[in-house]
Amino acid sequence: MPYVVDTVEVEPERLLPYLDAVRHLGVPVMTDAGAVLVSCATTSAEIGESVDVQVVWSFDDHDHWNVIRKNLVLDPRWYEFSARIAALRTGGTRRFYYPVALSPP
In this predicted structure, the answer to whether residue 103 has a pLDDT above a threshold of 80 is no
The CA-based dihedral angle spanning residues 69, 74, 80, 84, taken in that order and rounded to the nearest 10 degrees = 10
**DSSP strand E in 23-88: where?**
36-42, 51-58
In the CATH hierarchy, which top-level class contains the domain 3-97?
A: alpha beta
pLDDT average, residue stretch 80-102: 95
* C-alpha separations of 46 from 9, 11, 17, 18, 42 in Å: 15, 11, 16, 16, 11
Model pLDDT, residue 48: 86
Q: What are phi and psi of 50, to 5 degrees?
A: -55, 155
On the CB side of 1, CA atoms within 13 Å amount to 10
Q: What is the pTM of this model?
A: 0.91
Q: Where are the domains of the chain?
A: 3-97
